[in-house]
Amino acid sequence: MEKTSNNNIAIKYGLFSGVVIILYHLGVYFGIKEWIITPAFYFSIYIIHIIFMICAGLIVRSQNGGLLDFKGALREAFLTFIIGAIIYFIVYYVLFNFDAELIALQKQSALELINWQLEQQFIDEDIYEAMKKAWEADDHKVSFWDVITGIPFRLMGGFLLSLLVAAIVKR
């Protein structure tokens, strides 16, 4: 049974997670900018979240004499994730609104995916032309609304990760 609740640990580790995410984003941005638009990069951000979620849970468990129930572990993990995710969205929004090259890379990547789908016969020529036309016509800027509507999906993934982390760190 959990003795105390200490959201300060989750907030602190959420902020640490956010700082690491900022540094990671900037490192990739100035190093291999093309990698920012890949699924591997997107999912690697989750690894950063997981590390700090586990750390927060283990520290709270240690502060509670080695005891932390599932509910407490879930709360610590998810709050840590939420704070890190908010920072991620801010960095994402800023980078994609102030660097037209990122938008061009994203557009190019999407068009390559559409071409690959046609080559693999996942889509027919009519769908290919419609998708290509739509992608070429759109400016692909990341709006504030895009960020806001993306948050619930990110939080759903974060909640699932939090369930996993809570199962790992509870005792």
- pLDDT band for position 3 (50/70/90)? very low
Q: Is residue 117 part of a domain?
A: no
Q: Is residue 104 part of a domain?
A: no
Q: Is residue 109 part of a domain?
A: no
- pLDDT tens, position by position, 32-77: 988 988 889 989 999 999 999 999 999 999 998 989 999 999 999 9
- 151: domain range? 7-99+143-169
- pLDDT tens, position by position, 82-130: 999 999 999 988 888 888 888 888 878 777 887 788 787 777 888 878 8
| Start-to-end CA span in the chain (Å) | 8
Tell me the C-alpha distance between 160 and 151, whole Å. Answer: 14
pTM of this structure: 0.82
Give the single-character DSSP code of 18: H
Report whether pLDDT(1) > 50.
no
Kindly report the backbone phi and psi dihedral angles of residue 167, in degrees, each rounded to the nearest multiple of 5, phi listed first: -65, -30
Buried b (16+ CB within 10 A) or exposed e, 114-124: beeebeeeebe
- What pLDDT sits at residue 7? 67
Number of domains in the chain: 1
Q: Is residue 112 part of a domain?
A: no
Q: Is residue 114 part of a domain?
A: no
145/110: higher pLDDT: 145
Q: Is residue 28 part of a domain?
A: yes
- What pLDDT sits at residue 36? 87
